[in-house]
Structure 1
Amino acid sequence: MMKKTIAFLISLSFCIISMPAYNADYKISAECVVENGFEYDISSDFAEIVSCSDDSENIVIPDSINGVPVKAIADNAFGECTNLVTVTIPDSIEYITGNVFSGCTNLASIEVSENNAAYSCADGMLFNKDKTELIAVPSQISEAVLPDGLLAIKELAFNNCSEITEITVPKSVENIEMYAFQGCVNLENIKISDNISYVGSHAFSDTLWYKNLPDGVIYIGKIAYSYKGEMPENTEIILDEDTKSISAWAFSKQENLKNITIPESVERIENNAFFCCYGLENADIPQNVTDIGADAFKFCSSLKKINIPQSVENIGDYAFANCTSLSEIDFPDSAVYIGKTIFDNTVWLENQPDGMVYTGKIAYGYKGEMPENTHIDIEEGTKGIACCAFENCENLTGITFPQSLEYIGGSSFVFCNGLTSVNIPSGVDYIGNMAFFACSSLKSVSIPENMKTIQEKAFYQCDSLENVYYSGTEEKWNCIKVAAYNENLLNCAIHYAESSLEKGDATCDGIIDVRDVTMVNQYVVQLTDMTEQGLLNADVIADGTVDIKDLGQIKKYIIKQISEF
């Protein structure tokens, strides 16, 4: 299950889309240069076009500037090029935002160098290299034939294509992003198969096709896309039995919606689906739903009870926040990934006693004022740490995770300045973005061999971090996907399993027994010294010192109260 969960998180959206690699770090040291109508941000290794003031009808984008390759085109970079008719993209370009040609009202054709490794073109339209994603369509195109094998129509792809009157979406297309057909005011005939799995908000709202539909629930394929028209008071809606998902913003701000019956066929409830449905009293979530999007039920102030089934794997940020009447929550015991403060400002949370709060098998957070020098032992059986669970808990000086733990959510320990060491158990394979952000006293961290993904800024501004104890080999360490801004983690001393580190073996004799307890005890009371390797082995807490806490853990291991450090 966690593999699917991680895929969801990395995508940062319910609609998973690939794009060329793009290094955002360059802006820290970028130099602004204006030349031949282009404004560039230039770093040491590549340049980005941020704007263009050239009023020519035909523009050929240069492949380099001052000897630096031009690799990126920023959002709305050509927004003021109203005379532009054709544009040619060189082979050096690796990253283009979908909105790059917004405002080019006379654009008729986009051409791409055949040698470009990231992008391609067909019939004047811009695609990714293998034509699985449609990125931009010139506004002067009146007919668009989309290729079989296309998987996604990107955000604003058909922006202001007012000449188009009909479109056939291939059966291969799975995702249509938000505002995909914005400004297509004459688009009247649309053919879409039932294979579509995601339609973003306002994707068709400007079209004649949408305007000609009758009021009520609008379906696109098997997706409940939106509610059109004015909803009567105390409305009760029963969705079609074969509905697969509820689109983002589908029923948002429908204050007169009282009840909705969601069929068992539904698998996803997208972001903001019922946002600000103040009158919504009942919304039973069926047994096949896997994802509940960010803000999905936020501000549903009449909602009193919610049942979250075992099938749910991801709950987005603030999904049930500000549901001020919500007092009863039936939560599963699975490893649900929980976003930021999903139950904040609910009666349920208000009724929880101060201290650790759990939702099923997830550590939701710490409620109330935390005493100084607090050490928390997370309950055995806990499978995840929710996003922002211990955010700003400056009095937290230690935490013990159970062996049952599978993930540590984003921002879960951000600004926990009292933490000096963290021992991550063997079952954890994912650490969320900014998980230990600005833990300024953190000196050491133990990372298991099972680790697969460490997200962006997970250890950013951990300026005291000195040692990483990794239970695998250097080769396996190099296979971990470590995202940007984790230099504090990567630049400190990394101790691999192959370095003969044997936790608990203070005597370095290859056996962990009472002799190791005696050695550590004598060292703690300053009756003996230990070898450098012995000190590394004895530091089972991995906080950079050997003390009574390590002694206690070694004793527990010998008498089999714990099976590993």
Structure 2
Amino acid sequence: MKKTFKILSLSMVAFMLMTMICGCGDGSNVTSTTGKPGFPDYLSSGTEGDFEYDQYKSYITITKYIGKDVDVTVPDKIKDTPVTTIEDRAFANDSNKSIIHSVTLPNTISNLDTSSFYNSRFLENIQISPDNKSYKSVDGVLYSYDMKQLVGFPENSSITEFTVPEGVTTIDNSRFAFCANLTKLTFPSTLKVVSDFSFHGATGLTELTFPEGMEEIGACAFFRCTGLTKITYPSTIKTIGENSFVGCSNLKTIEGFAGTAAETSATTIGATFVDLTE
């Protein structure tokens, strides 16, 4: 039987002020996983067509798309060197005012930065060569080749209700960030980890229920999810990252099991905690 009680704590307003001081930023401060100039194998930087890039001894990293095309195709080679890596915010529309609707990646891509598609506000579709052995695209959504990681969900996808496929264990950083059209997400029983900023600015989501077996929620995972009213956590949840609920002004209810991270997070933000322990 559910037991509902109000957790007495600091007010939501005080918490929000505190966490804004600590700072979630805008989600773009996720640490880059790609190489930078100064690494031993770095050779030079340049521009080829509509792409800025860094050249290393054996590969090319795309650092920025600077063109104006709606549909963008990334080349498989620059200067006869394979393009293997897409840098953080490479397709962001914050500087060149491009309005990219679709991105097609070549078979040579083997490394996508944690925020490669971050702030691509008009992106509707991500495709990749069927010959690529690192990633695959299903209905415009990008996954690792083994389908265990959800790697890229277009921010302006027309999908409103989405079911993460069974077998996915990890939702990478910022993968549903700014996906305001999403109103409902269903998670697979295999899900274990939701990474930092995963739902940042996904304002259309109102309720989220995570499956039994889920263990970890990253920092600022629900940052500015203003439509979110309720979250349900399983008994297996171990960690809920810092500042996960900054800007969640309508989050009033957290369901979970007494003594877990779910109860702790409810205490922190002053939400109503619903104990699912029978």
TM-score by length of 1: 0.36
Which residue among 88, 91, 113 is the counterpart of 1:97? 113
- SS in structure 2 at match of 1:206: coil
Deviation (angstroms), 1:125: 0.8
**Residues 1:67 and 2:83 are matched in the alignment:** no
**Residues 1:179 and 2:179 are matched in the alignment:** no
Q: Is the 8 A contact 2:69 2:98 kept in 1?
A: no
**Residues 1:136 and 2:152 are matched in the alignment:** yes
Structure 2 unpaired stretches of 5+: 1-32, 248-255, 271-278
- For 1:248 and 1:42, locate their aligned partners in 2 and report how far apart those are by CA, in whole Å: 47
Aligned to 2:50: 37
- For 1:84 and 1:96, locate their aligned partners in 2 and report how far apart those are by CA, in whole Å: 18
Q: How many residues align?
A: 219
Aligned to 1:204: 222
Aligned to 1:168: 186
Aligned to 1:325: none
Deviation (angstroms), 1:161: 0.5
Give the aligned residue type for 1:221: P
Kindly provide the CA deviation profile for residues 472-512 of structure 1, in whole angstroms up to 9, marking residues without a partner as x.
Answer: xxxxxxxxxxxxxxxxxxxxxxxxxxxxxxxxxxxxxxxxx
- For 1:249 and 1:241, locate their aligned partners in 2 and report how far apart those are by CA, in whole Å: 11
Deviation (angstroms), 1:250: 8.1
Deviation (angstroms), 1:117: 1.5
- For 1:68 and 1:163, locate their aligned partners in 2 and report how far apart those are by CA, in whole Å: 38
Cα 1:71–1:199 change in 2 (3 A) is same
Kindly provide the CA deviation profile for residues 200-251 of structure 1, in whole angstroms up to 9, marking residues without a partner as x.
Answer: 12212433553x24xxxx762233747899xxxxxxxxx94462x4799887
Give the aligned residue type for 1:53: I
- SS in structure 1 at match of 2:163: coil
Cα 1:115–1:193 change in 2 (3 A) is same
Aligned-residue CA RMSD (Å): 3.1
Kindly provide the CA deviation profile for residues 360-393 of structure 1, in whole angstroms up to 9, marking residues without a partner as x.
Answer: xxxxxxxxxxxxxxxxxxxxxxxxxxxxxxxxxx
Worse-superposed segment, 191-200 or 123-132: 191-200
Moved over 6 A (4+): 21-26, 226-229, 246-252
Aligned to 1:47: 60
Q: Is the 8 A contact 2:127 2:140 kept in 1?
A: yes
- For 1:172 and 1:38, locate their aligned partners in 2 and report how far apart those are by CA, in whole Å: 38
Give the aligned residue type for 2:168: L
Q: Is the 8 A contact 1:86 1:109 kept in 2?
A: yes
Aligned to 1:195: 213
Which residue among 59, 63, 71 is the counterpart of 1:58? 71
Q: Is the 8 A contact 1:86 1:111 kept in 2?
A: yes
Aligned to 1:511: none
Aligned to 1:156: 174
- For 1:66 and 1:228, locate their aligned partners in 2 and report how far apart those are by CA, in whole Å: 45
Structure 1 unpaired stretches of 5+: 1-20, 230-238, 257-565
Cα 1:251–1:113 change in 2 (3 A) is farther
- For 1:41 and 1:248, locate their aligned partners in 2 and report how far apart those are by CA, in whole Å: 45
Structure of larger gyration radius? 1
- For 1:102 and 1:43, locate their aligned partners in 2 and report how far apart those are by CA, in whole Å: 24
- SS in structure 2 at match of 1:30: strand
Deviation (angstroms), 1:76: 0.7
Deviation (angstroms), 1:55: 1.2
- For 2:266 and 2:114, locate their aligned partners in 1 and report how far apart those are by CA, in whole Å: 23
- For 2:246 and 2:99, locate their aligned partners in 1 and report how far apart those are by CA, in whole Å: 37
- For 1:158 and 1:71, locate their aligned partners in 2 and report how far apart those are by CA, in whole Å: 24
Which residue among 126, 129, 139 is the counterpart of 1:123? 139
Cα 1:251–1:179 change in 2 (3 A) is farther
- For 2:81 and 2:127, locate their aligned partners in 1 and report how far apart those are by CA, in whole Å: 22
Which residue among 83, 92, 109 is the counterpart of 1:79? 92
Q: Is the 8 A contact 1:150 1:172 kept in 2?
A: yes
Give the aligned residue type for 1:65: I
Deviation (angstroms), 1:123: 1.3
Higher relative contact order (CA 8 A, sep 6+): 2
Aligned to 1:147: 165
Aligned to 1:362: none
**Residues 1:220 and 2:233 are matched in the alignment:** yes
Give the aligned residue type for 1:132: K
Deviation (angstroms), 1:103: 2.1
Cα 1:23–1:185 change in 2 (3 A) is closer
- SS in structure 2 at match of 1:51: strand
Give the aligned residue type for 1:42: Q
Aligned to 1:235: none
Identity of counterpart residues, as a percentage? 23
Deviation (angstroms), 1:30: 2.5
Give the aligned residue type for 2:170: A
Q: Is the 8 A contact 1:82 1:105 kept in 2?
A: no
Kindly provide the CA deviation profile for residues 507-544 of structure 1, in whole angstroms up to 9, marking residues without a partner as x.
Answer: xxxxxxxxxxxxxxxxxxxxxxxxxxxxxxxxxxxxxx
Report the structure, 1 or 2, having the larger strand content. 2
Give the aligned residue type for 2:118: S
Kindly provide the CA deviation profile for residues 403-445 of structure 1, in whole angstroms up to 9, marking residues without a partner as x.
Answer: xxxxxxxxxxxxxxxxxxxxxxxxxxxxxxxxxxxxxxxxxxx
Deviation (angstroms), 1:171: 1.2
Which residue among 122, 129, 139 is the counterpart of 1:106? 122
- SS in structure 2 at match of 1:32: strand
Q: Is the 8 A contact 1:201 1:247 kept in 2?
A: no
Aligned to 1:532: none
Q: Is the 8 A contact 2:223 2:246 kept in 1?
A: no
